[in-house]
Amino acid sequence: MTPQCKKVLDSFIKLANHSEAELAFSGSSGFLICPLSNSDIEQDFSQYSKEFSGIIQLLTEKGYIEFSSSRIFHITHKGLHYKWFTMETIVSFLFRSVLVPIFVAFVTALLVSYFRLS
């Protein structure tokens, strides 16, 4: 996930008050987002105007947000806890790619030493 996607997702999480509350596109610009329950609170994402549609598309494809209509969406469980899911992926990679080969090499060395002494 790009740094821009993380910033936008973090902003969505704050707007949704750390819940799966629905958010909506507000206004005609396409860059204002507000909680569906309180349209008085809006956040402007026009600083991402050149890439905002791509950010939204990526967040949707990766399962961080889901649309219930063309202008209304909510953050998924995966989106609310994306840092945990990222950490879990990293730990899994390290376990498979680093710890397992070290363990296999250690066991192999023990077996070779054992059979040499026999």
Are 52 and 105 within one domain? Answer: no
**Do 58 and 115 lie in a common domain?**
no
> What is the amino acid identity at position 110?
L
Q: State how far the alpha carbon of 113 is from the alpha carbons of 67, 103, 109, 117, 118, in Å.
A: 60, 15, 6, 6, 9
What total number of domains does the chain contain?
A: 2
Average pLDDT of the segment spanning 30-43: 88
64 and 36, same domain (yes or no): yes
| pLDDT band with cut points at 50, 70 and 90 for residue 27 | confident
What pLDDT does residue 118 have?
A: 66
51 lies in which domain range?
Answer: 3-80
Do 64 and 98 belong together in one domain? no
* 85 belongs to a structural domain: no
In a domain, 22, yes or no: yes
Assess whether 18 and 69 both reside in one domain. yes
Give me the percent of the chain exceeding a pLDDT of 70: 99
| Mean of pLDDT over the chain | 90
Domain for residue 71, yes or no? yes
Closest alpha carbon to 34 in 19, 22, 46: 22
Confidence of residue 110 (pLDDT cuts 50, 70, 90): confident
Domain of 33: which CATH number? 1.10.10
Q: Identify whether residues 29 and 47 lie together within a single domain.
A: yes
DSSP string, 44-107: E-GGGTTTHHHHHHHHHHTTSEEESSSSEEEE-HHHHTHHHHHHHHHHHHHIIIIIHHHHHHHH
**Residues 68, 94: one domain?**
no
pTM of the model: 0.76
Q: Is 24 helix (H, G, I), strand (E, B) or coil?
A: strand
Mode of pairing for the β-strands spanning 43-44 and 72-75:
unpaired
